[in-house]
Amino acid sequence: MAQQAQDRKQEGRKQEDRPVLDLSRSQLTSLRPRQHEGTAAPAAEYGAAEGPVALSPRPATPPPETTPLQETSPASDDRPESRHDAPPPSFLRRHPVAVAVGAVLAVAAIGLGFLYWDNARRFETTDDAFIAARQFVIAPKISGYVTAVPVTDNQHVAAGSVVAQIDPRDYRIALDQAQAQADAAEANIHNIEAQTNVQEAQITANQKQVDQAEAALVFAQEQAVRYQQLAKTGAGSVQLQQQYASQLQQQDAALATARANLQVAQRQLESLKAQHASAVANLAQAQAQVAAAQLNLSYTTVTADQAGRVVNLGAAVGQFAQPGTALMMFVPDDIWVTANYKETQLDAIRPGEPATLGIDAYPERDIRGHVASVQPGSGAAFSLLPPQNATGNYVKIVQRVPVKIVIDKVPADVALGPGMSVVPSVRTDPAPSLYERLRTWL
């Protein structure tokens, strides 16, 4: 009992040492402990007026249901702070390894980003690019039945290789007929030439007859004059004078006849010369027919004019082919890349600049090429229906301009053809980037 009384005295002293709080009635009301059932707190204990009220020391033994208001005494400020009241350590101190790794990764990302930017700004790239070629249809020029197709789909053929064969028998017969007509025309020329030689000899003979008639006419003239003088003097008879006068007329008529025959022979020679010219023309016509027949016969063998690949083969043995019938498509080996760059990318693109071609079908292959030319105009300007910007509302759109990129060396182990997607990168700045220098050093 004595120990309990001593404990109550010590508890009373602790309550007296607590500081007095100046609180208003509303604050006091909020701090007042909740009343339990069967316990009543008189209102006069706290005073009835508003304003600061001095709290009197609580009873030494508070009710077990209430929690006494505790206030830190001024003497407690000088005591060291407890473990729970100390500020938490910073993130750097709590995770030093993570901060270090993050800093290294950030520096590496910045460095890699700069390397990428420094290397990428030296190239112009577009994904609007395709392989192009001047593909064409192989068709026969003559009609006939297809007798052989020695190629298959997608086969590569060399220049001059046979890709189809048409029945040549009809055209071989036509060639023989044309050749026979040419031989006949040539024989006719030889016949006319022989007749011309005979006619020239006949002209020579007629010319001799004219000379003979002229000499006989001169002698007859002299005889007629001589006997005419003798007849006048009486030394000769009138009969002889009349006889030589008649011979003179006969020789004159013979000379005229010889000259006429000579003219006829000369006219016949001119006719033979005209016939010879006609025969030569006939021979030329016959020879042209022979050449045409030979061409038609050669057309029965359909060949590839250049190296390339057979595509979309449609010819079959036994098929009757008309002139112009599509037998197959042909893609030459001469291919290039048409890159449709934006017009804002053309400032540094010039013919001759190197380019790297990435083929979507072969992503592991990088093919080299160079810029061949830049089209002087956008692709829309040369379309079937070019835009008319002078009518209606106008909205500016960045145009694309085709750039021709020639492949330096087409690889033989891959199949490249028109329409395949390409991603070209044209190097517009020849100076090496930092990334390239690092690769060289390493």
| Domain at 206, CATH number | 1.10.287.620
Predicted local distance difference test score (pLDDT) of residue 267: 84
The answer as to whether 235 is a domain residue is yes
- As a whole number of Å, the end-to-end CA separation of the chain is 94
User: Quick one: 316 and 196 in the same domain?
Assistant: no
User: How many domains are there within the chain?
Assistant: 4
Contacts of 290 (CB under 8 A, 6+ apart): 175, 178, 179, 181, 182
User: Quick one: 267 and 351 in the same domain?
Assistant: no
User: Quick one: 194 and 295 in the same domain?
Assistant: yes
Dump the DSSP string for 187-240. HHHHHHHHHHHHHHHHHHHHHHHHHHHHHHHHHHHHHHHHHHHHHHHTSS-HHH
Predicted local distance difference test score (pLDDT) of residue 238: 66
Q: Running along the chain, 442 residues long, what does each successive block of 10 average in pLDDT?
A: 58 52 48 45 40 45 47 46 64 82 91 85 92 94 95 93 95 95 92 86 81 77 71 67 72 80 83 88 94 95 94 93 93 94 92 93 91 92 82 83 94 89 91 82 80
The answer as to whether 85 is a domain residue is no
User: Quick one: 54 and 196 in the same domain?
Assistant: no
User: Quick one: 294 and 234 in the same domain?
Assistant: yes
Structure tokens at 135: 């593909």
Q: Which amino acid is at 350?
A: R
CATH number at residue 153: 2.40.50.100
User: Quick one: 305 and 249 in the same domain?
Assistant: no
The answer as to whether 210 is a domain residue is yes
Predicted local distance difference test score (pLDDT) of residue 313: 94
User: Quick one: 163 and 311 in the same domain?
Assistant: yes
User: Quick one: 173 and 281 in the same domain?
Assistant: yes
User: Quick one: 193 and 255 in the same domain?
Assistant: yes
pTM of the model: 0.60
Predicted local distance difference test score (pLDDT) of residue 302: 95
User: Quick one: 180 and 130 in the same domain?
Assistant: no
User: Quick one: 129 and 150 in the same domain?
Assistant: no
User: Quick one: 203 and 161 in the same domain?
Assistant: no
- Look up the domain containing 265 and give its range: 169-299
